[in-house]
Amino acid sequence: MRKAKNIFANIDPLSVLLYIMLIFIGLTNIYASQYNDDSNFIIDISSRYGKQFYFIGISSLIAFLIVIIDWKFFYSLAYLFYTLVIILLIAVLFQGAVTGGASAWFEFGAFKLQPSEFAKFATALALAKYYNNIYIQKLSFYNKFNIYTIILIPFLLVLLQNDLGTALVYLAFLLVLYREGLSGNILIYGLLIGILFILTLLIEKIMLICIIGGILLVIIILSQKKKKELIFIVSIFVIIIGFIFSVNYIFYEILSPHHRTRSNVWLGKEIDPHGASYNLIQSKIAIGSGGLTGKGFLNGTQTRFDFVPEQSTDFIFCTVGEEWGFLGSLLFFIIFIGLILRVLFLAERQRSNFSRIYGYSVAIILFFHFLINIGMTIGLVPVIGIPLPFISYGGSSLVGFTILLFIFLNLDSYRLQILR
């Protein structure tokens, strides 16, 4: 533990300032999304605004405790944190409350706890510690297997909770490994598989196979491949055909009904203004109606009259867009992206592999949430239901992201002492 007079020594002030600004933006917009003339949210703990005020207090206390703890605490207990959250992720499958089709929460009276939000920082710690302990130029198959296992266990457990959005966050850790020298082939393969999956849903299977086959045939003719290379290309083509014919099974038998519906809406295959498309349509109306400067605080009609469901959680950016307009949204983007860039800058200056890898994990998780959340509110990605860090209503989300960020700020404050 730090000495009393040095409690805040070397804690990056800019990161803390940006964090406070985002918390204030979140609280303001939650208030706006829940406001009505008959409520006094400031003292009403039953309202979402009142609860978020309470969550901010808890998060601030936790942030303070993290700051005063010695960095060795987090390094030594990294695997223990990871084990505990894995146990919680398993337990919630059997004892969790079902909300929005996902069994991801423990209920304690009026409050809920979502273990998957805390699994993010625990996975980042475990990954950073393992990678730090075996840090070498070329990883063995055994090392790679363990690294992927650390990532895939929480991914699969969250996927079993029927929470696809949160599960996908854990795949973002692969970008961290790419930064640390792991082959980028897996990222390329993943991107190609995703593109092929989407194309299969949009184009007739036979036509798609003919197009891909024609492209491969042109490559063979122009490059004059050898016999072994020809066999390899033909094998890839056979695998592609098998994958194309398996897409329907994956889409209709594995994905849950609401995920299928949201995907069809995003792909333009299903239009239901009063059903599945309603959230997205109202979200676009709210953001578009804000214009350049916005309608003003508490003056958003889409917000005031509850046209956008879940506007204080997954669709909180609608409030920003409607009441603050383009300029206000731009300011918000600058603050949020500024925090991500600041974390990346701090991560790059770390002398410890453990601190650097953890720092990059923080940045990647924040960026992934930011990208997907904003993207789904304006229709660029399917609605998969993940919060906007520090902005969306939710205790588990706010506390989880606060822990995630302030552990790194703690590690950064000790960067001159942590050599490995």
Return the pLDDT at 4. 46
Return the pLDDT at 420. 57
From the first residue on, what is the mean pLDDT of each consecutive set of 10 residues in the chain (420 residues)?
61 94 92 72 70 90 92 92 94 79 74 88 94 72 86 91 86 82 73 86 87 83 71 85 86 76 76 72 85 84 74 86 91 96 93 91 94 89 86 91 95 75
Return the pLDDT at 120. 94
Instruction: Say whether both 322 and 180 belong to one domain.
Output: yes
Q: Is residue 85 part of a domain?
A: yes
d(CA 170, CA 218): 38
What residue numbers bound the domain in which 243 lies? 203-255
Residue showing tokens 């020594």: 9
Q: Is residue 269 part of a domain?
A: no
Are residues 83 and 68 in contact, defined by beta-carbon separation less than 8 angstroms?
Answer: no
Tokens (6 digits) for 368: 């992934």
Instruction: Say whether both 59 and 165 belong to one domain.
Output: yes
Q: Is residue 114 part of a domain?
A: yes
CB contact set of 192 (below 8 Å; sequence gap of 6+): none
How many helices (H) does the chain have, and how many strands (E)? 17, 3
Return the pLDDT at 85. 94
Element (H, E) at 107: strand 102-108
Instruction: Say whether both 71 and 117 belong to one domain.
Output: yes
Beta bridge partners of 102: 99
Return the pLDDT at 224. 67
The model's pTM: 0.87
Taking residue 160's Cβ as centre, other Cβ atoms within 10 Å add up to 15
Instruction: Say whether both 38 and 70 belong to one domain.
Output: yes
